[in-house]
Amino acid sequence: MIRRPPRSTLFPYTTLFRSQKLRKERQRHDENNMNCSPGRPQRREFLMHNKAPLWNENSQVYQLDFGGRVTQESAKNFQIEFRGKQVMQFGRIDGNAYTLDFQYPFTAVQAFAVALANVTQRLK
């Protein structure tokens, strides 16, 4: 069976500054730039995308390397890259069990929301 690669999806991601270091940088920027209104949180936008699968000549399918974390093939399996680095992966490990791995810039709630949106989108 030949599997098609997943459609590329862009994930717009916006967050408020939360760390002390970033908050101090924002205050310095606000002091230098008088056009910024005080009390209004600044936003950062990150552009992420699905990692493109590679064609495996031996098995004649597109594959992603999940580092042994995903054990079953599924159309719901995906990996997200940010600046060329993998920051999230989601995949099936058993009949109705999945694994979700994530790191910065995702929080647990954000990663879960992306994974849930992916699963429910593919149920249609």
**Among 19-33, 43-57, 60-74, 81-95, whose mean pLDDT is lowest?**
19-33
Burial of 90 (0-12, 13-18, 19+ CB in 10 A): buried
Q: Which amino acid is at 38?
A: P
Angstrom distance (rounded) from CA 76 to CA 89: 11
Mean pLDDT of 75-85: 89
**What pTM did the predictor assign?**
0.60
The residue-averaged pLDDT of 89-109 equals: 90
Quote the CA–CA distance of 24 and 18 in Å, as a whole number: 10
Q: What is the CA radius of gyration of the chain?
A: 19
What is the three-class DSSP state of 79? strand
**Distance spanning both ends of the chain, measured CA to CA:** 22
**Mean pLDDT within 103-118:** 91
Going by pLDDT thresholds of 50, 70 and 90, the confidence category of residue 14 is very low
